[in-house]
Amino acid sequence: MNSIFEIDNLNLHYDDFQALKDINIRIEKNKVTALIGPSGCGKSTFLRCLNRMNDLIDSCKITGEIEFKEENIYTSNYDVISLRTKVGMVFQKPNPFPMSIYDNVAYGPRCQGIKDKNILDEIVATSLKSSALYEEVRDRIKESALSLSGGQQQRLCIARAIAMEPEVILMDEPTSALDPIATLRIEELMNELKKKYTIIIVTHSMHQAARISDNTAFFLMGELIEFDKTNKIFTTPKNQKTEDYITGRFG
Amino acid sequence: MLNKRNIIDIIYQVITYLAASVGVIALSMIIFFVFSNGLKLLNFGLLVNDYHAEFYNGGIDDPIFTFSHRPISLDDKVFYSQKWGIGLVDSKDREGNPIIIIEYISGDSPLLEIYDKNNEESKEIIGIDKGFLVSKISYYDKNTSLTMYGAESMINDIESTNEIREIVFSSLGGGIRGSIITTLYLISITIIIALPIGISTAIYLNEFSSKNRLTSLLRSLIETLTGVPSIIFGLLGLAVFVPLTIRFSEATSANIVSGSLTLSVILLPIIIKSTEESLKVVPDSFRSASLALGANHTQTTLKVVLPSAFPGIMTGTLLAIGRIIGESAALIFAIGTAVKDDISIFGKSTTLSVHIWSLMKDEPANIELASTIAIVILLIVLTLNIIVKLISKRFIKEF
Ligand SMILES: Nc1ncnc2c1ncn2[C@@H]1O[C@H](COP(=O)(O)OP(=O)(O)OP(=O)(O)O)[C@@H](O)[C@H]1O
Ligand SMILES: [Mg+2]
């Protein structure tokens, strides 16, 4: 198995509360991995470990090992900035900056010091095309990103992440704030994106997990209960708790 | 049927209406007072003229008479001399003494050539103008005409003579140009000092500092400073900034710079607090989004957080400027109360508010001019308000 993330004995505490308990998991490269589980089981917390966004939370303490491309990212001299350029993130609520569409997409590259207008134009155009937004916004690329619909805003956020040419895209319930049609478009988009990128997605929708993911991890109360091929999880789960959750008996 | 609930509601409503109307009535009474007293003095001359009247002894050699006709627009009360092209009118000064004012002077009047008799060699032209006071005119061939005989007799005297020995007149004075300029200087210098320091401190406190003893100490210090009466800061200015500026510049007394430094200290807590408030309302999702894109802390602050907080910071700045315009207690010590016409930043002068204060402490108090200055202050504040609204609006509309 060709894994991009290798996580060993990951434990995470918020002050005294243990949010993740002894997680061991290998995330496969260029596959879609879905994280499912009831609310509060630690899916978002786990996701934030992968690009070290948990660093922003003062109370958060982590032990164990997370290796990204065979390098432990939780060592003190690891370059967090470059990690985040390689591991992009899309949030639950679309959060474009209050700037133009263009400036939103160009934001990341600009922060890395790219100033050449031609290069930026090129990056913006390809990113918008890859996120299937280009046709809709090509005439108003200089207009405010806040004038877009919720679904368009979320695709803009994906474009913004793609503009960094990351290797992994983390998505935390990217469609939960969207209507079914916008959701469908994002799911189609993910099917395109997984050819190039490794995607790790948190979702509350079993159908979504079943439709788009290759592997599925089931979390419960901070523990990783089961991790397997998606079709195995949904047809023949090994663990009784997984089966209960998938069949809707609790959660 | 009225039940108990309804009655209580009605009582509450009546109380709020009463409170609101008391507020409105008090405000309108102040505004009415200020406008009814001050409006008659308000004109362009007041804004650009000197405060201190300037006295001149003017002389004129070989006048060339042009005999311009009396303009039809001149009021009947104005007495006009065709020979000298000048119209005079009787009036009274603030203390009720008679004065004679130049109401009109024609463009080709020989009197425009009047030179300064105190400076006989250079014969510098004085530039007599409408609004000047004429106090006496003396001749070679007859008795001097004086203010006490009135404008009519003065006009008759000069109309019947071809030579004037000396003409004594003064500029009107009472203008507030000096105080306006001082106020503007004070605003600019204070803002230049206090805004960068205040905004940087707020950014440090809100975006960079971790929560430790030192920052919470700093916060409570700032909190405390906001409540200290400004006159205490004035004493600080007198004790620290005035000697400091005297030592390190050409200043010899309290001056605009010492005033600005004192005001900066007063404003810092206000600017820090208002900036922090506007930084706090910037959604954390912007910060996360930026950091997740590989931006570092500084880039996130400068490119995302600060622009979003900009309208709030502008409002804070406006409040600060309002405070500068309105401050008087501290400035009485820190900048002094001398009303001046020639302004330099290390020299003595005073602001509009302190000007009001010194007018009102005179005996008799000059309520009219004080009210007029109050109107000017109101207008300045209003203009600033509109400017800031427009800027913020444009900024918001852009995004
Ligand atoms: N910043 C924080 N400080 C303290 N506790 C936190 C923090 N963030 C999350 N937690 C706790 O950690 C646990 C896991 O939270 P997390 O947000 O990862 O759950 P989740 O699986 O993403 O839930 P959901 O499906 O509702 O998003 C919860 O009990 C939550 O209360
Ligand atoms: Mg979550």
Gap from CA of A40 to ligand 1 centroid (Å): 5
Place of tokens 């208002």: B274
In this structure, of A153-162, A181-190, A210-219, B46-55, the range with the lowest mean pLDDT score is B46-55
Q: How many domains does chain B have?
A: 2
Helix (H) or strand (E) holding B195: helix B177-203
Same domain, B338 and B236: yes
A57 lines ligand 1 (CB under 6 A): yes
Q: Are residues B158 and B187 in the same domain?
A: no
Beta strands in chain A (DSSP E): 3-14, 17-28, 32-36, 60-68, 71-72, 87-90, 168-172, 198-202, 215-220, 223-229
In this model, does residue B389 exceed pLDDT 90?
Answer: no
Q: Indicate whether B366 and B264 sit together in one domain.
A: yes
Structural domains of chain A ordered from first start: 3-246 (3.40.50.300)
Q: Is the CB of A59 under 6 A from ligand 1?
A: yes
Sort out which chain B residues have CB atoms less than 8 A from A56's CB and list them: 287-288, 291
Ligand 1, atom 1, lies closest to the CA of: A57
Q: Which of A10, A11, A13, A14 to mutate to test the pocket of ligand 1 (most atoms within 8 A of CB)?
A: A14
Confidence tier at B262 by pLDDT (50, 70, 90):
very high
Over residues B81-137, the pLDDT tens digits come to 888 889 999 888 766 778 898 988 888 888 888 888 877 777 788 778 888 888 888
In this structure, are B377 and B241 located in the same domain?
yes
B11: in domain: no
Same domain, B250 and B137: no
Residue B261 inside a domain? The answer is yes
In this prediction, residue A202 has a pLDDT band, given cuts at 50, 70 and 90, of very high
Residue B377 forms part of a structural domain: yes
Bridge partner list, A23: A10
Q: Is residue B314 part of a domain?
A: yes
Query: What CATH number has the domain bearing residue B143?
Result: 2.30.42
Residue B48 lies in a domain: no
Same-domain pairing of B181 and B315:
yes
Residues B159 and B181 occupy one common structural domain? no
CB–CB of B291 and A99 under 8 A?
A: no
**Does residue B311 carry a pLDDT above 90?**
no
**Structural domain boundaries, residue B157:** 53-170
Query: Do B233 and B88 reside in the same domain of the chain?
Result: no
A221 by Cβ neighbours in 10 Å (0-12 / 13-18 / 19+) ranks as middle
- CB distance A150 to ligand 1 below 6 Å: no
pLDDT for the residue B97: 79
Average pLDDT of the segment spanning A72-88: 93
Q: Residue B396 has what pLDDT?
A: 66
Give tens-digit pLDDT for A126-148: 999 988 899 999 999 999 999 99
Q: Which residue has the tokens 């506007």?
A: B278
Contacts of B210 in chain A (CB under 8 A): 58
Residue B12 lies in a domain: no
| CB-nearest partner of B294 from A95, A96, A111 | A111
DSSP state letters, A115-182: --HHHHHHHHHHHHHHTT-HHHHGGGTTSBGGGS-HHHHHHHHHHHHHTT--SEEEEESTTTTS-HHH
Answer whether B293 sits within 8 Å of A81, measured CB to CB: no
Indicate yes or no: CB of A112 within 8 angstroms of CB of B294: yes
Domain at B355, CATH number = 1.10.3720.10
The rounded distance, in Å, linking the Cα atoms of B284 and B303 is: 14
Q: Are residues B393 and B271 in the same domain?
A: yes
> In the listed set B170, B201, B232, which residue is the last one of a domain according to the structure?
B170
Ligand 2 midpoint to CA A37 (Å): 10
Distance from CA of B193 to the nearest CA of A (A): 30
Check if A14 has its Cβ closer than 6 Å to any atom of ligand 1: yes
Residue B350 inside a domain? The answer is yes
Q: Is the CB of A127 under 6 A from ligand 1?
A: no
Suggest the residue from A44, A84, A123, A162 to mutate for an interface test with chain B (most B CBs closer than 10 A): A84
Residue B295 lies in a domain: yes
Tell me the mean pLDDT in the region B262-281: 93
Tell me the residues of chain B between 69 and 88 that have a Cβ less than 8 Å away from chain A. none
Whether residues A111 and B295 touch (CB distance < 8 A) is answered with: yes
Decide: A40 in ligand 1 pocket, CB within 6 A.
yes
Last residue of a domain, one of B123, B146, B170: B170
Q: Is B298 an interface residue toward A (CB < 8 Å)?
A: no
Burial of A189 (0-12, 13-18, 19+ CB in 10 A): buried
Tell me the average pLDDT across B231-238. Answer: 94
**What pLDDT, in 10s, does the model give residues B140-189?**
888 888 888 888 888 888 888 888 888 888 887 778 899 999 999 999 99
| CB of B361 less than 8 A from some CB of A | no
The average pLDDT across B233-238 equals 94
3-state secondary structure B222-289: HHHHHHCCHHHHHHHHHHHHHHHHHHHCCCCCCCHHHHHHHHHHHHHHHHHHHHHHHHHCCCHHHHHH
Q: What is the pLDDT of residue A1?
A: 65
Please enumerate in sequence order all residues whose Cβ is within 8 A of that of A240, keeping only pairs 6 or more positions apart, or say none.
none
- DSSP annotation string for B291-341: HHTT--HHHIIIIIIHHHHHHHHHHHHHHHHHHHHH--HHHHHHT-S---S
Question: Relative to the alpha carbon of A48, which ligand is closest?
Answer: 1
Inter-chain touch A107–B283, beta carbons under 8 Å:
no
Contacts 24+ apart (CB under 8 A), B88-96: B88/B134, B88/B151, B88/B154, B88/B155, B89/B151, B90/B150, B90/B151, B94/B366, B94/B368, B95/B364
pLDDT of residue A200: 96
The residue whose CA is least distant from atom 7 of ligand 1 is A14
Query: How far apart are alpha carbons A209 and A14 in whole angstroms?
Result: 28
Share of chain B above pLDDT 90, in %: 40
For the stretch B285-303, what's the b/e string if a residue is b when 16 or more beta carbons lie within 10 angstroms of its beta carbon? ebbbbbbbbbbeeebbbeb
Q: CB atoms < 10 A from the CB of B30, how many?
A: 11
Catalogue the E-assigned strands of B40-85. Answer: 55-59, 79-81
Evaluate: CB of A51 within 6 angstroms of ligand 1: no
Claim to verify: residue B150 and residue B208 sit in the same structural domain:
no
Question: Does residue B377 sit in the same domain as residue B342?
Answer: yes
Q: Which of B136, B170, B204 is the last residue of a domain?
A: B170
Please report which confidence band the pLDDT of residue B244 belongs to, taking 50, 70 and 90 as the band edges: very high
Same domain, B261 and B309: yes
Task: Please check the confidence at residue B42 and state whether its pLDDT lies above 90.
Answer: no
pLDDT digits (tens, 9 = 90+) for B2-24: 688 888 999 999 999 999 999 99
Q: What is the mean pLDDT of residues A63-71?
A: 92
